[in-house]
Copies of this chain bind each other. A is one copy, B any other.
Amino acid sequence: MARDDTVHRKAVLSVLDEARWHLTADEVYEEVKKTLPRISKGTVYRNLRKLRDRGDIAALELSGALTRFEGRREPHYHFVCESCGCVFDLDEPVDHELNARVEKKSGFRIAYHHLEFRGRCSGCENMQTRH
């Protein structure tokens, strides 16, 4: 994090670094408000975009869901529970050769891929209730 960041930007980043979770913009907003009650949503959005562009955080754009943000870590895949909507990080190693393989076959210049698993998490699987 750049030392000369504003209080607001630092607060946004710190919320994401401390969260062991993937937060939506609105959740970040609610969290930051606890420290900076006068912060506005516009500022949160502006800072999230800036931090993402700069690579300090990652934006998770999963299928048919709100964008979620997470503190920067190594690339990894995600599991989405279609019952409760929770998002989990997976330990599954990222397949680094996949891009090159598909690039050769398809002719497209591939920069990265995005892999997401969907189903029901253990919690939802145990309760019989669905949705």
The chain A residues found within 8 Å of chain B, CB to CB, are 59, 61-64, 67, 79, 81-82, 88, 90-92, 99, 102-103, 105-122, 125
Contacts and interface: CB of A to CB of B under 8 A. Distances in A.
A111 to B, nearest CB: 4
A106 to B, nearest CB: 6
Contacts of A113: 115-118
Contacts of A99: 117
B115 A114 contact: yes
B102 A110 contact: no
Contacts of A91: 105-106
B92 A121 contact: no
A7 to B, nearest CB: 28
Nearest to A64: B61
A94 to B, nearest CB: 12
Contact of A111 (B63, B109, B120): B120
Given A79-B106, A90-B102, A105-B91, A119 B112 contact: yes
Nearest to A103: B119
Contacts of A114: 63, 114-118
B115 A120 contact: no
